[in-house]
Structure 1
């Protein structure tokens, strides 16, 4: 399997590192010991290419056509900034490649690329990492057991300059209005909220800019979501909080669950004692240096493994472009709330 990783920033480096882990694990599995893998990196920045060559020991190209023409590439991981995804997806599909893409944040060429993937009989796989978090799988399972109809409170916030402290946020896609940081948080969270609590019936709320950040979009949202299941949620998103925070409480009569975004913070109410009991789900938690404790590498690995399982025809993707189109439409409506 020959894999091209397009975009060698922080996400591209993460995918290469996890891809190497996956290759090593796959090499130990029966029946796949002789499968050969090759990773190629592509980025317009020659500086990034040289950095990744040294860091990851792979061949890189600063020209897309040359990189995709090298050998017989089977699939591409698109890890560049979201606004560039549509064209890169289209180019890779035209060449007959399976495609894994990070979140898009905008729906450019969605129908066209879905149709092209179908015509070429190629997998078009969209990242939605939180659907692969063990805590979220547990929450969904518990609520399904109960036919849950209660409420939830969820706050996600982190000061924008702390997202990537090694670079200026003005030079990063989250600094642009069309692919802004609040929009990215919504695109991360809403797929799993909808998957867990049901489709959205209506959203109400307010949003405003409260910081001195050099951005031309609102940096705080307070929303009320009514799901088709009857569940009602309060969702607060901001890029202002100096303390990185992810706090969730879910409740109804005789039930309470809380989660603070980390693998060791999931707790469930035990009715017979009145205590909150910790829920342990991970044998080993993997983290990358430079990120908050909320960022767990395990889920990034699991969705990458799911992509290759989809190529082999073993499993379907948990999230699709069709689902994402609906999520992006809701995000558009949120941004337009008066």
Structure 2
């Protein structure tokens, strides 16, 4: 099996690559049922793409890296031609950045996805796994979204992702392509770029700095370890039904204030290190995914509880300053949750 992973030098994509190749750093010895003969990473290496994320598998002869943009139709056509499966992670994904400038989000997330789908259609790709987010649903006060819930995105980022989801599913319905879509809750874990809330807070606290908390801190998120997310994607890649959407969640909901408390405790810091900031425009109050479908159909169950996952994640950032300090030097200050 020849697998193309777009955005495979990013946080989640690189975890998937490390997991596929069964090497240290992915916390897995390969993926049962998936035995890739070749794994190609197509990545533009924007600010959040990092070749160091692939260091644990760099010497694997099955790995090939291609520097390029998913909007480059000629390059995409050339790369897609040699692959059986596409797992599509590549996306602009930071809500705050989308609020200040939406063009890259629409360009990459919508047009880039369409470029990949066209190439996959031409070359008869066996399976197209489109990786998306719970943010396409908007906000929910109580209960949890099922896969049939109407999409109601509230940010330029989530609107662009919703558009890409609908395109992917349309290629299944129109052309009969073997497309599956996954939607996940908030990810955390090693190698996450320090603009996201957990690595931003942890690295700021480890450096003796302060952390910004949006609004009243009451926004609720379900937290999913990146390894569990990639396990779920692998299950969908292997056994998911074509044309279906599958939710992948972590099973632990926290307010941002509760999460902050856990991170402060993990870093031996107090509330004097927290700086309240004005709430984000259009900030969704609560996300919650129903993961019954993937559990019943594919056997997915989260394996890393939040307490263990956060402890391991904080320790990883303690031990890997050489990875994140150069990124922080670029002036990262945003927060997303």
TM-score class normalised by the smaller sequence: 0.3 to 0.5
Say which structure, 1 or 2, has more relative contact order (CA 8 Å, 6+ apart). Answer: 2
Structure having the larger proportion of residues in strand: 1
TM-score, normalised to structure 2, is 0.41
Instruction: Please say which structure displays the higher CA radius of gyration.
Output: 1
